Amino acid sequence: MAHRFLLAKEQPLGPLEGLGPLGGENNPLTTKEAAVSTFTKVISIAIGVMTIIAFIWFLFVLFIGAIGWLGSEGDKAKVQEAQKKITRALVGLVIVIAAIFIVKLVEVILGIKILSISDLLLNIWK
C-alpha cells in the first residue's frame, strides 16, 4: 500500500529531470541536436578508449613475447611460442589500424560519414 502512495505522489528529483521527451523544459537534452551531440561524444570516447586499449594490449603482448624469447635459453619450443605471441600482437595491431582505414575508405566510396554519427542520426530524423 505504501508503495502505491509513493508512486502516486510527486517526488522531487533535484537536478535530475529525465531525458528526451520525458525530460523537463530546462533539460539540455530535450532537443534532438543536443541528444545526438551527447550520443556522438559517448561513441567517440568509446572508440578512442578501445583503440588506446588495443594499442596498450599490443605493447603488453609484444613485451611478454620478447621476454619469453630472451628467457627461452635456446629451447626451440619456447622460442616458437614467443614468436607466436609477437606475431599475434602484430596481427592484432594491423587489424585495428586496417579497420580504421577500411571505414574511411567506405566513407569515401559511399559518400557518407560513418564515424560522424551526429550527421547520420540528424539526417535520419529529418
Q: Where are the domains of the chain?
A: 31-125
Q: pLDDT averaged over the chain? A: 76
Q: Which residue has the higher pLDDT, 2 or 48?
A: 48
pLDDT given at position 47: 81
**Number of other residues whose CB lies within 10 A of the CB of residue 15:** 6
67 and 77 in contact (C-beta within 8 Å)? no
Query: Which band of pLDDT confidence, cut at 50, 70 and 90, is reported for residue 26?
Result: low
Global confidence as pTM: 0.61
Distance between CA atoms of residues 36 and 86, nearest Å:
41
Q: Which residue has the higher pLDDT, 29 or 116?
A: 116
